[in-house]
Amino acid sequence: MSEYTYNPVQLVEPGQNVILNDNIPCRRGYVLHREESGIVILRGITNNCFARYQVTFNGNIALPADATAIVPISVALAIDGEPVQTSRAIYTPAAVDEYGNVTSTAIITVPRGCCFTVAVENASAVVDGVAPEINVQNANMTVSRIA
């Protein structure tokens, strides 16, 4: 199991990634991460047809204090830059700067010899022509190889 965290509040623009730091890095070379990056690389190192990983994100999200409207906000796991819609975690705050805890999980199958990038992305929907920025605090992503 690998774990990546980032505890301070970070402002994440729409479609951008949550920044993570190594906490428990993978020592076997299956999972790679560059410090202060939001991207984790899953490698298909296996003698079988594929390697399978369970990726889970947990964190607190809120609208920044200068937000102009109270709208639903969300994060999702993204594979190679594309959000996995079934991993989307949505929270509707009652006020700005009010945090809610969200969790998102996906099982990701990587073919032998391939690599996929995984990130946690601000996947908030466009409301009145604008997608909101979000604050993320206590970001935590775990990656477990399950097959």
pLDDT digits (tens, 9 = 90+) for 61-107: 999 999 988 999 999 999 999 999 999 999 999 999 999 999 999 99
Q: For residue 130, what pLDDT is reported?
A: 86
pLDDT at 52: 98
- Looking at every residue in the chain, the average pLDDT score rounds to 96
SS (H, E, C) 60-120: EEECCCCCCCCCCEEEEEEECCEECHHHCEEECCCCCCCCEEEEEEEEEEEECCCEEEEEE
Mean pLDDT, range 7-21, rounded to an integer: 97
pLDDT (0 to 100) of residue 35: 87
Is residue 6 within 8 A of residue 21, CB to CB? The reply is: yes
How far apart (Å, rounded) are the C-alpha atoms in residues 142 and 105? 10
* 0.75 surpassed by pTM: yes
What pLDDT shows up at residue 68?
A: 83
Residue-level pLDDT at 127: 86
Residue the block writes with tokens 């965290």: 5
pLDDT score of 111: 98
Torsion, Cα 107 112 117 123, to 10 degrees, reads -30
